[in-house]
Chains A and B, each alone.
Chain A
């Protein structure tokens, strides 16, 4: 995992952005995180495109429940389990106080890639 460039974008008072480019399992990967007031938006792309959009929200549970539950909804793109799991793991990095919209365009969906992506998103903290 080699970080090539990272930059913090401008109007931090309106929107907080963080961007990072890195090689994940030898594939160029771009990550952009934006903190909106009601959502966190994370783009993870190895194709340079938006690809699929997945919305991850924390469920409201009444009563005692130690383990939180999450809803994963595919807004755009192929509805397959692997992408949902990766989006869910990336979203979990933010702590999920707000819903997280994840844009995923991956060339490789192996476990090793998922782990590295998680670590990269952690370094891109805007939440």
Chain B
């Protein structure tokens, strides 16, 4: 899976559990940054995850870069998305903690990423 060489922006909104959630994906070379949030659009947390195919004991390395260290949503999402896409993934999740919503958010992102990658390979 590869992104186009230059930065591409993909913004969209979804209604999840009766709440509007906004997404913005910055697609870069072999990496992406995903912002998730409500209105007003703030960027409080930021985490990064890197896949490490050579070290099977630790398939993904994560780091919390910015914001509240108690909120592990960004880190967890980055870790799972990085594992799935085998890319470096930055996640900034700015939603109130809701365990029901997180899997839906992840599903939305994977669906969109699938479309982006498919478009990139067909171009």
Contact = CB atoms under 8 A, between A and B. Distances in A.
Contact of B33 (A10, A19, A50, A75): A50
A48 B46 contact: no
A53 B65 contact: yes
Given A15-B41, A101-B43, A21 B6 contact: yes
A97 B103 CA distance: 36
Contacts of A38: 42-44
Interface in A22-51: 28, 30, 32, 34, 36-39, 41, 43, 45, 47-50
A76 B48 contact: yes
Interface string A1-21: 000000001110011010101
Interface size class of B (residues with CB under 8 A): 20 to 34
B30 to A, nearest CB: 7
A41 B31 contact: no
Interface stretch (B21-29, B53-61, B71-79, B109-117): B21-29
Interface of B: 5-7, 9, 11, 13, 22, 24, 26, 28-31, 33, 35, 39-44, 46, 48, 63, 65-66, 88, 90
18 contacts: A9-B11, A10-B11, A11-B22, A14-B11, A14-B22, A14-B39, A15-B22, A15-B41, A21-B6, A32-B7, A34-B24, A38-B44, A45-B7, A48-B29, A49-B30, A50-B33, A50-B88, A75-B66
Given A21-B6, A37-B40, 20 more contacts: A9-B11, A10-B11, A11-B13, A14-B39, A15-B24, A15-B35, A17-B11, A36-B41, A36-B43, A38-B43, A38-B44, A39-B42, A43-B26, A45-B28, A48-B29, A49-B28, A53-B46, A55-B66, A101-B46, A101-B66
